[in-house]
Amino acid sequence: MSTDDNVLRPSSGQDVSVLLLNGPNLNLLGEREPGVYGSQSLKTIEERVIQLGVELGVSVSCAQSNSEGELVSLVHGARHGQGLIINPGAYAHYSYAIRDAIAAISIPCIEVHMSNVHARDEFRHTSVVSPVVDGFICGCGAFGYELALRALIQQLERPDA
């Protein structure tokens, strides 16, 4: 990993970039169940992660979709040398299509849930996505996305990244 020009590059020489994906209903953050998900909008959260990326020399692009197929296509669009942060929302609990898409691209991936899914309804205790990701963060609110970015950078710094 080199840090010329204050931009991280894995051993492949490409710039490090991160794709932050949010799934269904997360576009409503700030107004949706604030007692569970807090009062920050998705835009505010994305801007914070982008800013942290600037501080850490990593470019972050963001997307959100309520549609399973679109999320699959967005995951496919991630390229080698990139990292993926994904909050699949409720799709985490049953979308084998999103799980298979993540398995197919083989880039470092961190799954984020803002709430502590294990302390909530039983159907939220299972994530079919978790077995194919490198890390899982839940219950840390919006800060979980910042933790995920830091964790991904560590993954991308591995010599085989």
The reply to whether 104 sits near ligand DQA by the rule CB under 6 A is no
Choices 11-19, 77-85, 113-121, 149-157 (CB under 6 A): range interacting with ligand DQA: 113-121
The reply to whether 117 sits near ligand DQA by the rule CB under 6 A is yes
Query: Is 145 labeled as catalytic in the residue annotation?
Result: no
- Which of 72, 115, 151, 152 contacts ligand DQA by CB under 6 A? 115
The reply to whether 114 sits near ligand DQA by the rule CB under 6 A is yes
DSSP output for 14-51: PPPEEEEEE-TTGGGTTTS-HHHH-S--HHHHHHHHHH
- C-beta closer to ligand DQA: residue 15 or 68: 68
Of the candidates 36, 66, 42, 64, the one whose C-alpha atom is nearest the C-alpha of residue 141 is 36
Q: Which residue among 113, 118, 125, 145 is the active-site one? A: 113
Residue 114 CB, nearest approach to ligand DQA (Å): 4
Site for ligand DQA in 14-73 (CB under 6 A): 25
- Which of 81, 89, 110, 142 contacts ligand DQA by CB under 6 A? 89
Q: 18 near 38, Cβ under 8 Å?
A: no
Which residue reads 């953050």 in tokens? 29
Q: 149 near 70, Cβ under 8 Å?
A: no
Q: Could you give the C-alpha distances from 60 to 11, 69, 145, in angstroms and in order?
A: 19, 22, 12
Q: Which residues are catalytic?
A: 37, 113
